Amino acid sequence: MLTDNDRIILDFERRWIDRPEGAREKAIRRTFGWSHARYLQRLNQLLDTQAIAADPQLVYRLCGRIEARRATEVRRLLDRST
């Protein structure tokens, strides 16, 4: 079951997902008092069955972004090693 805090994080992400990264990071710090890295850790922990049930479109969109970031990181690491 999602907690009230979990819902707040998902609501925040829904509002800020397409905003510029710098403004988003400032809003994260102001809203939650967390670093951007801490916020992403917490957000990633929420991407489970309950979050999908609460907001499937947002969760699938976030999962797609996570996979794209991972693929970019793998390519960057492979390019550096060759």
Give residue-wise pLDDT tens across range 14-66.
Answer: 999 889 989 999 999 999 999 999 998 998 888 876 788 888 898 888 888 88
pTM reported for the whole predicted model = 0.73
Contacts of 14 (CB under 8 A, 6+ apart): 55, 58
Alpha-helical runs (H) found in 1-82: 4-16, 21-32, 36-46, 49-54, 56-81
Residue 48 half-sphere exposure, CB side, CA atoms within 13 Å?
A: 8
Instruction: Give how many domains the chain has, as a whole number.
Output: 1
Domain that holds residue 25: 4-81
Taking 80 as the threshold, does the pLDDT of residue 12 lie above it? yes
* The pLDDT of residue 75: 86
